[in-house]
Structure formats: C-alpha cells, structure tokens
Structure 1
Amino acid sequence: IMSPQSESLNHSCPNISLEFQTLLYAITNVLIFIPGLLANSIALWVLCSYINKKSKAVIFMINLAFADLAHVLTLPLRIFYYLNHNWPFGNGLCLLCFYLKYLNMYASIGFLVCISIQRCVFLISPFRAKSWKRRYDICISAALWVIVGAGCSPFVFLRNSTNKNQTCFADLPMKKPNLLVTATMVVAGDLTGFVIPFFTIMICSWKTWKTLKGDVFIHNKREKQKALRLVITCAVVFLICFAPYHLNFPLYVMSTTDVITNCETRKHILTFHPISLCLASLNCCLDPVIYYFMTTEFREQLSRHGSSIIRGRLMSKESGSSFKE
C-alpha cells in the first residue's frame, strides 16, 4: 500500500490548484471533527460499558470505533496545518498523524468486512453463533491490527524523514521508488485493501438477502430486517467512503509517474484525488450509524442512560429549588 502525494507534473501540464486542495482538506476536517469526536466517543463508551456480552460483532464494532477515534483526534493538527501552512510540531508527529489516516482507512475496511462476514455466517448457521466464543473475535481483531499496521508502514517509509521545510501531509517530500516497485505496491494495496474486501462485503450482502428470502429458520421478522440492514449499511459505508479513493488511486499513481500523459485526463484525476481522500475521512462520521441504527441494544442503552441523566438533573433542580423555598 502506498500513497504518493501531489508533486509537480511534467513541464507541459499545469498542477492542480494548491488553494483548492488546502481549502478542501481544511473544511472537511473542520466539518468531521466535532461529529466524529462525539459520535465515536459515545459509541466506545456505550459499546464497552453497556452492551450485553451476548451481542454479536460487538468486539469488531469497538475496534472500528477506536480506529475512527484515533484518526479524529489528529484532525485539529491537520486543521492547524492547512490554515497556517506551517508545521511546528516536529517530523515524528507529522508522520504519526499521516500514518493514522491510512491506518484508520484500512482498519475500518477490515472491521467492516469482519462485521459483514460474522453477521452473514451467524444468520445462515445459527448453531455456529451459539458456539462462537468472544475470544475468537479478540484474536481476529488483534491479528487484523498487526496486518493492517504492517501494510500501512510504506506510507511512513516512503516519506522523507529529513523534512526541514516544516511541511506535512499532502506537502510531505516523498521518496520515489522505481516503476516496478510502485506498480507492485499499488496492485497489492488495491487488491488486499479494496478488491477482496469489496467482493466479500457484496457476497455477504447478497447471501444475507437470499437467506432472508428463503425458508431458513430465524426468530422473528424484526431479527431478519436487523440482520439485512446491518450488512447493507456496511456495504453502503464501504462504497461511499472507500470505493472512490481506490478506484482513482491507480490512475493517480499513473499520472504522477507520467504513465498517463494527457493533460486534461491528468487534471481530472489529480483534482479528484483530494476529494476521494475527504470521502474516506467521512467514514469517521458514518461508522457510528452502524452501531446506532443496527444494534437495538445500543439504542436502548443509550436512550435509557440519556433519560436517567435528564431525570437526575431535573430531580437535582427540583430539590435545589425546594431547598431555596
């Protein structure tokens, strides 16, 4: 997996507007920060503290929320950089923030796949769900973090570690590997990070829908609808957030390495690249929809706890007012 950033193109082709790119990143990060921070913080709190131990996919949902929150916490630094065009926080923190962006992307893809597969398999084979142990989910999650962490390491290794210009993110200097290495990394990254997860989620969605239309025994109609909505929502989040980036990325690499030479084509590809990255960041706000709308118990616990807080505040106000009287 790799992500070469915007560099000056060939003599004859003008580069995309840096003002457009900077403004787009700044606005997107500002819009995502507060909703992403609140939604994922509440999700982690509820999922860890209130979800019944028998809930399916809760471990994967916790990891998904953690991945989103880790990226959201770097957004203030990104906003600062794109507004001030200066990075005074050191190269190490810059590379960490840069790394967490792609770690979030591919960890989110991985856990969306895990949620889809588990829900589909448990729907088709209810007896397997009863014998499934929570420690299996924990082991799968740990393995996924190791794989994704290692797979995203080229994002850091391909960056210039001797950056002295106080630049960061899209403006980071980059080491250029040869064309064969670049092609191998792009193909491997798109295959494992997009193509395989895409077909896996689509197959899970199709099999879930087909199973629900059949005569397989399921407890009730509500359970059927909930299972289908969960898998469909994973597919929708995946398509909105991650498909645009991965479909455009090979073209982007071919443009920056002069494989694509038509100026008009390159302009469209390079202009869409930051847009696709912003869509990928949007998953921090869309993933919590999976927890809230697809997990009945999550809604019940959140509503119950929220109601108890309101009742507590009302009671304290009433007691306070009666004391004054």
Structure 2
Amino acid sequence: MKATDNDSYPGNESNCNSDNKISQVLFPMLYTVLFFVGIVMNGLAMCVFFQISSKSNFIIFLKNTVISDILMILTFPFKILSDAKLAPWALRGFVCRVTQVIFYFTMYISILFLGLITIDRYQKAARPFKTSSTNSLLGTKILSTVIWIFMFTLALPNMILTNKKPMHETVKKCALLKSDFGLVWHEIVNYICQFIFWVNFMIIVVCYILITKELYKSYKRTRCKGKVSRKAVNMKVFIIIAVFFICFVPFHFTRIPYTLSQTRDVFQCSAQNILFYIKESTLWLTSLNACLDPFIYFFLCKSFRKSLLNMLHKRTQEHANGDSSDETPL
C-alpha cells in the first residue's frame, strides 16, 4: 500500500535518475516470468481448493492466501507495462491510484495469514490429534473476514486521496498525485504496515522455536523405536519460515534506509540508486511469494495434495482415453 515505492518523494533531487535498462528491461522481464508462472500455479491451486471443504482452520487460512496471491499477480501486467513504458503515460496514473495499492494490500494480507498459518502449525505440533470444532471454524472465518475488511479500510483512502489530475510529469512520482492529507495517510499506513510485519516476524520466530522444541521432543520419544519417517515428514513445516524469510524479510530491512534516502537529503545520488536497485530486487522477492505459496499448500496440506494428484491423474486418464478413441481400426 506504499504508493510511492517506485518513485522519489516530492522534494528529492529530480536529476538523480536510475539506469533505464535495468528499470525498463530487467525488472519488467522478471515480473513477466512471475506473472506467467504464478497465474498457472495459483489458478491450479484455486481449482483444487474449490474441491476441498473448509474442514479446518488451516485450510481456511490457505484459501484466503491463494485469493490474496491471485489478486497480487493480477497487478503485475500493469506494473510491467508501466515500468517498461510500453503503454500510454496515463496508465501510470492508474498504477499509482489502484494497482500499486492493491499490490501492497495483498502483500500484508499474505503476511498476516502466514502468521496465522504458523500459529496453527505450532498448535498442530503441540496437539497433533486435536481437530477443529464448528465454533472454531466459524471464528476463523470471522477473523479472516475482519483481516480483509481492516486491510481494505487502510487501502481505500490511499486510492481515494490519490486524486490530483494525472499529467505527463506528475505520474512519474506517485506522491505528486496525492493530496496533502493523502501524503499524511500514506505515512500513517506505512507505520501500520511496518507494525504488522514486525509483529508477524516475532510470532513466526517464536512459534518456530517452539515447533523445533516439539519436534525434538517427538524425535527423542521415537528414535528408540526407529520411527524416523515421522520426523522427516514433520520437517516440511519449516517451508513456511523459509518462504517468509526469503520473500518478506529482505524488503522490510531495505525499506528503512530506502525511505530515508527518499525523504531526507542524507545520501548521494549514487547511494540513492544503489538503494533503489536493492529495494526493487527485494520487492521482486515479495512478489515471488505468490509462486512459493503453492509449495506450502502441496507439502503441508494433505487434502490439497490428494485432490491435486487425483485431479492430475483424472486428466491424464481422460487424455489417454481420448487418444485411444481417436485411433481408427484397420
């Protein structure tokens, strides 16, 4: 929901420009790869989830995550066309007002649900035989709805308050399209989003410390019986923290010095450009989350894995039967 991440804030030196080849060629190509891979993987994941009932908190969280990922992926073509300058300059105004806000809106929804998924996996590790009750499922659905409403409430003013008329020069910096209160709201939302990230960062770290302890206890209890396979399966749970640290941690550590470089005159132009490329690279990693989440579904959700394999097996059989029916007897 940071509408000015790709641009300088008002008041920054306008003659400090980044390398056009990297900004207009490399990053659009990288996002193009993510778009095609992500739309296929998440489209398939959505088809699978349509066949699975919401019988546990875990599945409800995963369904919300795949919806968030698809919304994020649908913003990529606008970013690609805008950054590569393959579309009219007026498209940049739409990117600043709508799609870039949706991108950050969905990013923090994904972060929130990764935190909830981690808590659920810790509870599963601590009490492996406990099942979700009807009241628990209802509470989880209400919580998921509240998250979407809360994040949308934060995002909507960023769209409404980016209300200045787009012009060829002003669309180069999204902040120039914001009203005075829009800039203030944008800063407030940035602080809230930082808070959301760091709270979920602490939740995930603490939960994985506890999960590691539970796995070690389980290993100590079973090693004498030779049940190593159970331990190996449980180790898959660490895919969540791996995805979180790969996708979200680098960007949020980079965001602080990058914001300083854009809001205060404390960095030379060369340093600003270096921070810009680091920020864009780590922002691409946050987008990579949309392609990595399906691995979480596959490795950690037995219902998803079973439904996916059944669907692929059914399609393979139908294709084979279709080929057989097309054969003409001699």
Following superposition of structure 1 onto structure 2, how do residues 145-294 of structure 1 map, counting pairs within 5 Å? 145-153=148-156, 155-156=158-159, 159-165=162-168, 173-175=176-178, 185-192=189-196, 194-215=197-218, 225-230=232-237, 232-294=238-300
Aligned residue pairs, count: 320
2:131 to 115, 125, 129: 129
Kindly state the Cα deviation for residue 229 of structure 1 after the two structures are TM-superposed: 2.0
> Structure 1 residues 89 and 293 mapped into 2: Cα distance closer, same or farther (>3 Å)?
same
Q: Identity of paired residues, percent?
A: 24
> Structure 1 residues 264 and 211 mapped into 2: Cα distance closer, same or farther (>3 Å)?
same
Per-residue Cα deviation, 1:202-249 (whole angstroms, up to 9, x for no partner) = 11111111112115999x86565444423x212111111111211111
Q: Determine the C-alpha separation between the residues in 1 that align with 2:298 and 2:14.
A: 51
Name the residue aligned to 1:113.
115
Per-residue Cα deviation, 1:249-287 (whole angstroms, up to 9, x for no partner) = 121221111252344443322221211221111111111
Kindly state the Cα deviation for residue 36 of structure 1 after the two structures are TM-superposed: 0.3
Following superposition of structure 1 onto structure 2, how do residues 73-92 of structure 1 map, counting pairs within 5 Å? 73-83=74-84, 84-88=86-90, 91=93
Name the residue aligned to 1:100.
102
Contact 2:35–2:73 (Cα < 8 Å) also in 1:
yes
Q: Determine the C-alpha separation between the residues in 2 that align with 1:168 and 1:291.
A: 39
Kindly state the Cα deviation for residue 80 of structure 1 after the two structures are TM-superposed: 2.6
Determine whether 1:4 maps to 2:4.
yes
Q: Determine the C-alpha separation between the residues in 1 that align with 2:262 and 2:124.
A: 45
The AA in structure 2 aligned to 1:163 is P
> Structure 1 residues 134 and 169 mapped into 2: Cα distance closer, same or farther (>3 Å)?
farther
Per-residue Cα deviation, 1:93-115 (whole angstroms, up to 9, x for no partner) = 76221221111211110111111
> Structure 1 residues 142 and 268 mapped into 2: Cα distance closer, same or farther (>3 Å)?
same
1:303 to 286, 309, 312: 309
Q: Determine the C-alpha separation between the residues in 1 that align with 2:185 and 2:325.
A: 71
Contact 1:91–1:161 (Cα < 8 Å) also in 2:
no
Contact 1:160–1:172 (Cα < 8 Å) also in 2:
no
Contact 1:71–1:100 (Cα < 8 Å) also in 2:
yes
Kindly state the Cα deviation for residue 43 of structure 1 after the two structures are TM-superposed: 0.5
Determine whether 1:62 maps to 2:63.
yes
Kindly state the Cα deviation for residue 306 of structure 1 after the two structures are TM-superposed: 1.1
Unaligned runs of 5+ in 1: none
Determine whether 1:34 maps to 2:36.
yes
The TM-score, its normalising length taken from structure 1, stands at 0.84
Q: Determine the C-alpha separation between the residues in 2 that align with 1:241 and 1:188.
A: 19
Kindly state the Cα deviation for residue 185 of structure 1 after the two structures are TM-superposed: 5.0
- Aligned partner of residue 321 in structure 1, secondary structure: coil
- Aligned partner of residue 297 in structure 2, secondary structure: helix
Q: Determine the C-alpha separation between the residues in 1 that align with 2:242 and 2:270.
A: 31
Contact 1:241–1:282 (Cα < 8 Å) also in 2:
yes
Per-residue Cα deviation, 1:163-194 (whole angstroms, up to 9, x for no partner) = 132986876734486999877554433122x2
> Structure 1 residues 207 and 225 mapped into 2: Cα distance closer, same or farther (>3 Å)?
farther
The AA in structure 1 aligned to 2:61 is F
**Higher alpha-carbon deviation: 183-192 or 237-246:** 183-192
The TM-score, its normalising length taken from structure 2, stands at 0.83
> Structure 1 residues 175 and 76 mapped into 2: Cα distance closer, same or farther (>3 Å)?
closer
The AA in structure 2 aligned to 1:234 is I
- Aligned partner of residue 18 in structure 2, secondary structure: coil
**Higher alpha-carbon deviation: 18-27 or 168-177:** 168-177
Q: Determine the C-alpha separation between the residues in 1 that align with 2:148 and 2:228.
A: 35
Q: Determine the C-alpha separation between the residues in 2 that align with 1:188 and 1:304.
A: 42
Per-residue Cα deviation, 1:281-323 (whole angstroms, up to 9, x for no partner) = 111111111111222332222122211111122223223325x
> Structure 1 residues 228 and 199 mapped into 2: Cα distance closer, same or farther (>3 Å)?
farther
Contact 1:39–1:288 (Cα < 8 Å) also in 2:
yes
Contact 1:122–1:129 (Cα < 8 Å) also in 2:
no
Name the residue aligned to 1:320.
326
Contact 1:32–1:285 (Cα < 8 Å) also in 2:
yes
Q: Determine the C-alpha separation between the residues in 2 that align with 1:183 and 1:302.
A: 43
> Structure 1 residues 187 and 309 mapped into 2: Cα distance closer, same or farther (>3 Å)?
closer
